């Protein structure tokens, strides 16, 4: 194997390791997002006293709309990433 081939192979390995770290970090970060229990608890909390006023409702509705928009963007970004990744190396 020539020095150039070794260098190219080493560079490729470095890039792959970098991508592996990024994918692993993203996977670990995504599991930190709240699950069903979070939303079940939130549904219970909003039925407690004090949640009948317009300010509380507006405050939570705004936060929920923001989270929903970000969630939809993340879902789309994940799907686009997978679609693009599957195209790499295809004839």
pLDDT digit string, tens, across residues 50-60: 887 888 889 88
Range list of H helices, 46-91: 54-87
Contact 50, 56 (CB under 8 A): yes
Q: Span 76-84, mean pLDDT?
A: 96
Domains in the chain: boundaries: 1-32, 35-91
- 11 vs 88: which has the higher pLDDT: 88
pLDDT tens figures, 2-36: 655 666 778 788 999 999 999 999 999 999 999 99
């Amino acid at each position: 194997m020539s020095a150039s081939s070794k260098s190219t192979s080493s560079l490729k390995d470095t890039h792959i390791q970098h991508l592996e770290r990024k994918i692993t970090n993203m996977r670990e970060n995504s599991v930190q997002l709240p699950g069903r229990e979070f939303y079940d608890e939130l549904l219970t909390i909003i039925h407690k006293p004090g949640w009948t006023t317009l300010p509380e409702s507006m405050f939570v509705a705004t936060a929920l709309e923001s989270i929903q928009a970000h969630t939809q963007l993340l879902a789309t970004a994940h799907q686009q990433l997978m679609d693009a990744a599957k195209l790499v190396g295809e004839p």
